Chains A and B, each alone.
Chain A
Amino acid sequence: MTTVATVSEETDSPYALSHLDALESEAVHIFREVAGEFERPVILFSGGKDSIVMLHLALKAFRPASVPFSLLHVDTGHNFPEVLDYRDRTVEKHGLRLHVASVQDYIDRGVLKERPDGTRNPLQTLPLTEKIQAEKFDAVFGGGRRDEEKARAKERVFSLRDEFSQWDPRRQRPELWNLYNGRHAPGEHVRVFPLSNWTELDVWQYIAREGIELPQIYYAHEREVFSRSGMWLTAGEWGGPKDGERVEKRLVRYRTVGDMSCTGAVDSDADTIEKVIVEIAASRLTERGATRADDKMSEAAMEDRKREGYF
């Protein structure tokens, strides 16, 4: 038939990289570009799976030398103890330097005011941006992925921020081939996202392949939780449970790690990495849709926070 298009019967060449190898190689390339072009880069490290994968990639990129970057944690004061423990062990193990920007300090000094809902996620922006300015960081690695959210789908791998750390989606530099443009003026910095092209499933598959240790809250465990706005939250000093919210013991795990006040757990019996991967692959909810209260505030919540300097 004349209108049948050509169908190639060839298979991929033996030199085609697997998708995980291709993503890993690309991320390593990004880390090395930053090491080559910037004076004071820093990795945002929360103890969450994306930042743990970032650090793992950075360690591989510079072997057998050590990672030429320090770490920065924005501590909301509402962290999961297991995650802080993981953070401190990791810093110790790899001989890294950790900077902490503390939301609690800002509240204690009266610079920031606690919100009525107890959520501290939106309060992170000021401590983060002031720390970047004070330490003169010129490249700040974030674990953001474009699959997370539609405003993030527009994000560049190298994303210039002005002296106020603001993101202007209309004034982004086109990113061509793998030629990343890191030019910036004094006071400006570049947010760098080595995991831009990874999906949540890629991250989990990579964690499994590389045997990366995670904080235990990512795996199913029994936990005392209560229900608020359709999410299971862990009780804490941040203001939960309130009257009428009943605490019960459930088998749950976390898909993301963030501020305890707005990060929900999901019902799950996935207590191994294999079970987690099968569960993620079958899930019909995005990780943010399932477990992040702050993204549900408005249609453009993420974009608006990113414009102000949020990661």
Chain B
Amino acid sequence: MSTITTEELAETTLLRFATAGSVDDGKSTLVGRLLHDSKSVLTDQLEAVERVSASRGQEAPDLALLTDGLRAEREQGITIDVAYRYFATPRRRFILADTPGHVQYTRNMVTGASTAELTVILVDARNGVVEQTRRHAAIAALLRVPHAVLAVNKMDLVGYEEKVFAAIAEEFTAYATELGVPEVTAIPISALVGDNVVEPSANMDWYGGPTVLEHLETVPVAHDLSHCHARLPVQYVIRPQGPDHPDYRGYAGQIAAGSFHVGESVTVLPSGRASKISGIDLLGEPVDVAWTTQSVTLLLEDDIDISRGDLIVPSKDAPATTQDIEATVCHVADAPLTVGHRVLLKHGTRTVKAIVKDIPSRLTLDDLSLHPHPGQLVANDIGRVKIRTAEPLPVDSYADSRRTGSFILIDPNDGQTLTAGMVGESFAAPEPVRDDSEDDGWDF
């Protein structure tokens, strides 16, 4: 047992990341090894894994059992759903969205990637970049995950050869860059043996880059405020009824992007009323400036009508409001999304009635081609959708803001979450529409 000093327990930063990989790429092994080698698996958990592995007649503990939490998953040996894992090093805390590489794969990866700042995409060094890899890269690009790691796994099975790794890294980086993935880091690993996952590999002295964990520890958590439009979706109006604060009226919310400062001129959308920030409370303490993703309460100079669902923005940088939204969506429900579908749309803190006016195309992730007018989107489909909302909404392009450019569609009848939406163009350079009727529906 190592001795831990209180200095090592100081407050650090938090990195949210997601893993992507198909069934045989060794994703569970990689996750298991990250948890195990960073000493995040505790003795009683490991004993449980050893006990179950032994009862099944397996010789070595099956690290995948650490991550398969549900009865049905253990019985069937598959991962059903996104699970969240937690581990820490002295340098950083990690929240890992562990997404299964199974049939329900697209919606699960979209779910995991929606909050991730980094995606680890696994490939098998023997197979190189395959269709599944391109789908992973496309989803990471679509969700605008700022960092991508290509983990070229099973290097032990290709003789730890540099040229194998180099060819895969080059092909993937070219593809991902074309999609608009801003940063790709390629790392040759063996999750099974432990090469370059937590410890540097003695088998690949030609590799001079970081291990997976080192990279996770040092990748910058992106908060470039200078290029962000400041946005505060109003969640709740705080009005103490007591005698101590007779006139307090604060607009509480989590800053979705950018920063706000006292004295700034702001506009409230969709009404368009303007005022100035007279004070900012950061959970009860007054501050001069606040930024994403702090939960704050704004106080305004004028007593104007503001309620939950409104968006406070700088007057000099207000988005247009619109009732016609074009977006790329990923359909996550089992029942299909069709033209004419009446839905609820939740954007920020506002939920409005909406109708699906058109589904102009469906995207094939394999080759990024667009199939025109598919008629409907079924579970795991990604497509372009035109939506008319009952009230004007101040939406940003998802390319500008992952928070104020995203929305979900909800079934008004049973409350199910139907669709994840991203406003605006999905890729920098969309492929031309291919008129192709022999589409047999791709399933993965």
Chain B interface size, as a band, is 35 or more
Q: Please pick, from B2, B225, B244, B416, the residue contacting A15 in the complex, using a CB distance under 8 A.
A: B225
- Supplied contacts A64-B240, A174-B420, A177-B420, 12 more A-B pairs, CB within 8 Å: A3-B186, A5-B186, A5-B210, A16-B220, A19-B14, A36-B236, A62-B238, A160-B415, A174-B110, A178-B115, A202-B93, A284-B1
Asked if B293 and A289 sit within 8 Å, CB to CB, the answer is: no
Which chain A residue lies CB-closest to B163?
A3
- Say whether A4 faces chain B, with CB atoms less than 8 Å apart: yes
- Say whether A278 faces chain B, with CB atoms less than 8 Å apart: yes
28 contacts between A and B (CB under 8 A): A2-B166, A3-B166, A3-B207, A13-B223, A26-B293, A28-B283, A32-B235, A32-B253, A33-B349, A35-B236, A63-B297, A64-B238, A64-B248, A150-B67, A150-B68, A154-B81, A154-B83, A176-B111, A177-B406, A179-B346, A183-B410, A201-B88, A278-B6, A282-B2, A282-B4, A286-B45, A290-B44, A299-B71
Residues B92-138 near A (CB distance < 8 A): 92-93, 95, 107-108, 110-111, 114-115
Residues of A within 8 Å of B111, CB to CB, are 174-176
- Say whether B433 faces chain A, with CB atoms less than 8 Å apart: no
Residues A250-304 near B (CB distance < 8 A): 274, 277-278, 281-286, 289-290, 299-300, 303-304
Asked if A20 and B210 sit within 8 Å, CB to CB, the answer is: no
Q: Please pick, from B42, B72, B220, the residue contacting A8 in the complex, using a CB distance under 8 A.
A: B220
Residues A147-184 near B (CB distance < 8 A): 147, 149-154, 160, 169-170, 172-179, 181, 183-184
Which chain B residue lies CB-closest to A95?
B242
- Say whether A49 faces chain B, with CB atoms less than 8 Å apart: no
- Say whether A1 faces chain B, with CB atoms less than 8 Å apart: yes
Which chain A residue lies CB-closest to B415?
A183
- Say whether B399 faces chain A, with CB atoms less than 8 Å apart: no
Q: Please pick, from A4, A24, A176, A185, the residue contacting B406 in the complex, using a CB distance under 8 A.
A: A176
Residues of B within 8 Å of A181, CB to CB, are 346, 408, 410, 415, 417
Asked if A154 and B70 sit within 8 Å, CB to CB, the answer is: yes
Complex CA distance for A10 and B259, rounded to whole angstroms: 21
Asked if B218 and A8 sit within 8 Å, CB to CB, the answer is: yes
Q: Please pick, from A17, A147, A174, A285, the residue contacting B14 in the complex, using a CB distance under 8 A.
A: A17
Residues of B within 8 Å of A281, CB to CB, are 4, 8-9
- Say whether A18 faces chain B, with CB atoms less than 8 Å apart: yes
- Say whether B206 faces chain A, with CB atoms less than 8 Å apart: yes
Least Cβ–Cβ distance between A144 and chain B, in angstroms = 12
- Say whether B280 faces chain A, with CB atoms less than 8 Å apart: no
Least Cβ–Cβ distance between B283 and chain A, in angstroms = 4
Q: Mark B216-251, 1 if CB is under 8 A from A, else 0.
A: 001111111100000000011011111011001000
Complex CA distance for A19 and B403, rounded to whole angstroms: 20
Asked if A3 and B162 sit within 8 Å, CB to CB, the answer is: yes
Asked if B86 and A146 sit within 8 Å, CB to CB, the answer is: yes
Residues of B within 8 Å of A202, CB to CB, are 93
- Say whether A90 faces chain B, with CB atoms less than 8 Å apart: no
- Say whether A108 faces chain B, with CB atoms less than 8 Å apart: no
Least Cβ–Cβ distance between A278 and chain B, in angstroms = 6
Q: Mark A43-69, 1 if CB is under 8 A from B, else 0.
A: 000000000000000001111111000
Which of A's residues lie within 8 Å of B, judged by CB? 1-8, 10-13, 15-26, 28-29, 32-33, 35-36, 60-66, 146-147, 149-154, 160, 169-170, 172-179, 181, 183-185, 196-197, 199, 201-202, 205, 209, 274, 277-278, 281-286, 289-290, 299-300, 303-304
- Say whether B385 faces chain A, with CB atoms less than 8 Å apart: no
Complex CA distance for A175 and B406, rounded to whole angstroms: 13
Complex CA distance for A26 and B403, rounded to whole angstroms: 14
- Say whether B145 faces chain A, with CB atoms less than 8 Å apart: no
Interface hub of B245, B291, B295 (most chain A Cβ within 10 A)? B295
- Say whether B443 faces chain A, with CB atoms less than 8 Å apart: no
Residues B384-408 near A (CB distance < 8 A): 402-403, 406-408
- Say whether B208 faces chain A, with CB atoms less than 8 Å apart: yes
Q: Mark B1-30, 1 if CB is under 8 A from A, else 0.
A: 111101011011110000000000000000
Interface hub of B44, B48, B183, B244 (most chain A Cβ within 10 A)? B44
Residues of B within 8 Å of A151, CB to CB, are 69-70
Say whether, besides A282-B3, A303-B71, A63 and B206 are in contact (CB < 8 Å). Answer: no
